[in-house]
Amino acid sequence: MTPAGAIDIIMRDYDKVDPADSNNSALRTQYLGFLQDVYDYAFDFRDFEWTFDETNVTLSSGQNSVALGTTFAGFGTHGGLWDSSRRVRLTERSKSYIKALREEGPLTDSLEFAIFDSKFQFPFTASSNITYRAFHRVRAETLVDNTTEMVLPDRWCRRIVLAGLRVRSQLAKSDARQDWKGLLKDGMGQLCRDENPLRSGVQKMPMGVSAGW
């Protein structure tokens, strides 16, 4: 589903063209803001597969830190940082732990790191470029009133985004029509059940995990 398509459905259900608002542009802008709120809520609700991405993290020679990407939103339950050449996952430590290692060094290598000051921080200074592989959650995209498909799978856009958008549009008008709030709650519940099935008490690992190999 596209942002423009979702807004069109809400406009069809509840609104008519206002002669003072050419093409309902002001109202569409308001609905786009509502849509972003609902979309962010669904996107951040849990570690769903579509909320993860894999990126390279290159520690340059002479450096001991790498800036986080603009879309980085934490590792979530399943994410982490891997040294793909050695096929090993790095251990995340605290800020004080990494700073202590730096003071006690010098180290020439380590399989430990921390995240602080908006950077991946390592306890050693690289003598040459080192590339790690990060599997992490990403921030929801900023939606635009256009025909670009949203990352959230289409069936959940219909169950959750439309219901949530109707809730927001009704609240803005003090409208009391069909209980879309209840449908939104039901949709979120089914989303969690379907997308995170339990197997022997362990959450399903997102299919995108490859750790760089």
**Unique residue bearing structure tokens 């008008």:** 173
Helix (H, G, I), strand (E, B) or coil at 112: strand
For residue range 41-58, what is the model confidence (pLDDT) as tens digits? 888 888 888 889 999 999
For residue range 23-41, what is the model confidence (pLDDT) as tens digits? 788 889 999 999 999 999 8
Tell me what pLDDT residue 182 has: 73
Domain ranges of the chain: 3-48+142-197, 49-137
Paired tokens of 16: 């008519």
pTM for the whole structure: 0.71
Confidence grade of residue 211 (pLDDT, cut at 50, 70, 90)? very low
Handedness of CA 103, 105, 106, 111 (dihedral sign): negative
Tell me what pLDDT residue 160 has: 86
Average pLDDT over residues 78-95: 92
For residue range 99-127, what is the model confidence (pLDDT) as tens digits? 999 999 889 999 999 999 999 999 999 99
For residue range 131-183, what is the model confidence (pLDDT) as tens digits? 999 999 999 999 999 999 999 888 888 888 888 888 888 777 766 566 667 77
Q: How far apart, in whole angstroms, are the C-alpha atoms of residue 91 and residue 115?
A: 11
Q: How far apart, in whole angstroms, are the C-alpha atoms of residue 124 and residue 108?
A: 6
Under 8 Å between Cβ of 84 and 210: no
Q: How far apart, in whole angstroms, are the C-alpha atoms of residue 41 and residue 181?
A: 14
Tell me what pLDDT residue 111 has: 94
Query: What stretches of 15-63 show up as alpha helix (H) in DSSP?
Result: 25-44
Q: How far apart, in whole angstroms, are the C-alpha atoms of residue 1 and residue 170?
A: 21
